Amino acid sequence: VDQRYRQYHHQMQMVVSSFEAVAGAGAAKTYTALALQTISKQFRCLRDAIAGQIKMTSKSLGEDDCLAGGKAEGSRLKYVDQQLRQQRALQQLGMMQHNAWRPQRGLPERSVSVLRAWLFEHFLHP
């Protein structure tokens, strides 16, 4: 989030400088001040919401010690993250087979079966 904010701020500075090159020094301030203030507030709220969600998730998984600066060996969040990374690495190496019959985009099975039946009826048996 911070990186995106810095990117946005840099782009706004470029817009301000090009606007001031045409309209004169200080001309862009009246137009960009409110935009910068509003977007800064949005980024700050987003960052705070993400941080709050991380704290709440860590707390529910029993990782209060990690946030306080201590080490929690064998915490569940670290274990789940490690398992997901291993599984992703094995899939990239081709050692794990993807289930071709399962939807890849996260659609519910019921929706896929309804769509499959409709396509079959309308295109194979018109």
Band (76; pLDDT cuts 50, 70, 90): low
Residue type, 29: K
CB 86, CB 96: distance < 8 Å: no
Q: Mean per-residue pLDDT for 73-90? A: 73
Percent of the chain at pLDDT above 90? 0
Name residue, tokens 């670290």.
78
Helix or strand (DSSP H, E) at 118:
helix 109-119
The pLDDT value given to residue 96: 53
Q: What is the DSSP letter of 115?
A: H
Whole-number Cα distances in Å, 16 to 21, 24, 34: 8, 10, 13
What pLDDT sits at residue 102?
A: 53
**Whether pLDDT at 100 is above 60:** no
- Tens-digit pLDDT profile for residues 42-66: 888 888 888 888 888 877 777 655 4
Is the separation of the CB atoms in 36 and 5 below 8 Å? Answer: no
Instruction: Round the average pLDDT of the chain to a whole number and report it.
Output: 76
